[in-house]
Amino acid sequence: MASARLPVAVLASGSGSNLQALLDASARYDFGASIVAVISDRPGARALERAASAGVPTEIVDWADYADRISFTNAICDAATRSGAEVLVLAGFMRVLSPVAIERFPNQILNIHPGLLPAFPGERAVADALEFGVKLTGVTVHFVDEKVDHGPIIYQEVVRVHPGDTVRDLHTRIQEVEHRVYPEVLDALAHGRLRVEGRQVHWEHG
Ligand code: GRF
């Protein structure tokens, strides 16, 4: 008999291509996580359509409806808790959560970043890397802590910058990697294969 899957809420603000990769993975019989909710801060997000197409419940927590970051964050966490989620997966979620989220979901919030942290944190990571002239950039999956793009790193993979790359070219190749690795990391977390000791994350391959 299959063991229970880890219930997960995905937080997304935009196109949701990473969400789609996670939805596709969760359709596989042996995937360890189940996406029980998709929560967005943007009513028009394409991610919400992807969730609806997959039959996953959606919830909008509109930033404009909250007085401050703490009440917004609590509303996000409340929505996740109501759905039964034990883990939050940030997939192109463009709001910074208050530390109250880390108190409520300790070592249970994942983020994916289109760069090799700690280089080029923030929303313009791909453009910043190109402008700096790096030859190698990549993908980082990490646990979320109190600081932006800072928490313990779970996995990184290099993506080479090609001569003449535009931001779009480079981001497209980065996203191909993201779509492969994010489901792998979530599956590892769900199967209890990630052990966290301070900033060190050990991935025990089963
Ligand atoms: C991804 O490149 C991710 O690394 C960053 O935001 C982007 C989201 O893309 N955090 P999508 O909405 O999953 O297509």
CATH number (domain holding residue 109): 3.40.50.170
Q: Are 31 and 57 in contact (CB under 8 A)?
A: no
What is the pLDDT at residue 85?
A: 98
What is the pLDDT at residue 3?
A: 65
87 assigned to some structural domain: yes
45 assigned to some structural domain: yes
200 assigned to some structural domain: no
136 assigned to some structural domain: yes
Q: Which of 113, 142, 171, 179 is catalytic?
A: 113
Q: Are 105 and 8 in contact (CB under 8 A)?
A: no
141 assigned to some structural domain: yes
Cα–Cα distance for residue pair 140/149, rounded to 1 Å: 9
Task: Give residue 15 CA to ligand 1 midpoint distance, Å.
Answer: 8
**Residue 191 is a catalytic residue:** no
Count of domains for the chain: 1
What is the pLDDT at residue 198?
A: 95
Cα–Cα distance for residue pair 8/159, rounded to 1 Å: 28
Given the DSSP bridges, would you call strands 194-197 and 153-160 parallel, antiparallel or unpaired? unpaired
Give me the residues paired with residue 156 across strands.
140
Q: Are 132 and 167 in contact (CB under 8 A)?
A: no
Smallest CA separation from ligand 1 atom 12, residue? 16
User: What residues line ligand 1, using a CB cutoff of 6 Å?
Assistant: 12, 14-18, 91-92, 112-114, 175, 178
Q: Which tokens go with 191?
A: 């199967």
Ligand 1: residue of 10, 13, 17 to mutate (most ligand atoms within 8 A of CB) is: 17
Which ligand 1 atom is the nearest neighbour of the CA of 17? 14
Q: How far is CA 73 from CA 41, 47, 67, 85, 96, in A?
A: 10, 19, 11, 15, 9
Smallest CA separation from ligand 1 atom 6, residue? 92
What is the pLDDT at residue 161?
A: 98
Task: Give residue 66 CA to ligand 1 midpoint distance, Å.
Answer: 24
| Structural domain boundaries, residue 90 | 6-195
Task: Give residue 92 CA to ligand 1 midpoint distance, Å.
Answer: 4
What is the pLDDT at residue 2?
A: 54
What is the pLDDT at residue 1?
A: 45
Smallest CA separation from ligand 1 atom 5, residue? 92
* Mean pLDDT, the chain cut into blocks of 10 residues (206 residues total): 84 97 96 98 96 98 96 98 98 96 97 98 97 98 96 98 98 98 98 96 90
Q: What is the pTM of this model?
A: 0.97
| Phi, psi of 144, rounded to the nearest 5 degrees | -85, 130
Q: How far is CA 72 from CA 69, 115, 186, 206, in A?
A: 5, 27, 25, 38
Cα–Cα distance for residue pair 105/43, rounded to 1 Å: 24
Q: CA 5, 182, 91, 191: dihedral to nearest 10 degrees?
A: 20
Q: Which tokens go with 34?
A: 């189940």
83 assigned to some structural domain: yes
